[in-house]
Amino acid sequence: MTGRARVYLLDGGTLVIDGYHLYWNVGPGGPVRFPCYSVLVDHPEGKFLFDTGYDLAHVRKVLPFELPEQTADQTIPGQLRQLGIDPGEITHVINSHYHFDHVGGNKYCTAAVTLAHERELRASHDHQPFERLGYSDLSFDEIGPRYELLTGDTEIARGLHVFETPGHTAGHVSFMVELSGRRPMLFAGDAIYTRQSLERTIISGFHYDPVASVASMRRLASLAAEHEAELFFSHDAESFREWQTAPAYHT
């Protein structure tokens, strides 16, 4: 591709968690079905994939209580196929963090360079006991990827920015894409689960450091204001219904 970047939101299916995990210690409780999605940036410097969703077989085996719903078309190969792209064409993979619902499709991108935050890569293999289920899918590492380690805020390609937003995990990052035809798109990852999370300053129940989580949420709000960017939340069913998903794109 030459010239302008295109951004595709890839639908990866849904999972269920309790409302008290979605909104830590606030709720209300009860099952909440939420979306999982990935972001493909078809860029003049390569094909960049931010997050890769979950692996259905893994969730059914290890976390069946999250009631996964994912069709073959909602896997990374299925989503890329509708765009005429093979997973082997992905040049770079960046994960907001290495929890199972953000890394399940990495294993298909065998030719990609994995841009990994050094603290997050370390945490995926040496984490706290309460993070065990989050880091239960290590298939992203078993394919023997080529890692390039990141630290600090980094522009990984022209107009593609990775920001440190720790708290949910030790090395969590968020991702911003500058576009020529619209305002920048700032993908919060699990630093902000939903719009309500931001409006009410409520973090999720899955976190490494709650104080850092609140600081990162506030930092993302400041970054969005500074860059006049649109914020995209990680697991907001209401927002997701309003977004254009692939094969539609933003440019």
Active site residues: 101
Specify the 3-state DSSP secondary structure of 24: coil
Contact predicate 113/148, CB 8 Å: yes
Structure tokens given for 124: 């995926």
Helix (H) or strand (E) holding 170: none
The residue to which tokens 């890569």 are assigned: 121
Cis peptide, bond prior to residue 166, ω within 30 of zero = no
In Å, how far are 90, 130, 249, 251 from 42, measured between CA atoms?
9, 37, 10, 10
**How far apart, in whole angstroms, are the C-alpha atoms of residue 174 and residue 168?**
11
Look at the alpha carbons of 146, 148, 154, 157 in this order and tell me if their dihedral is positive or negative.
negative
Distance CA 197, CA 1 (A): 37
* Distance, CA of 151 to CA of 236 (rounded, Å): 28
Residue 71, helix vs strand vs coil = coil
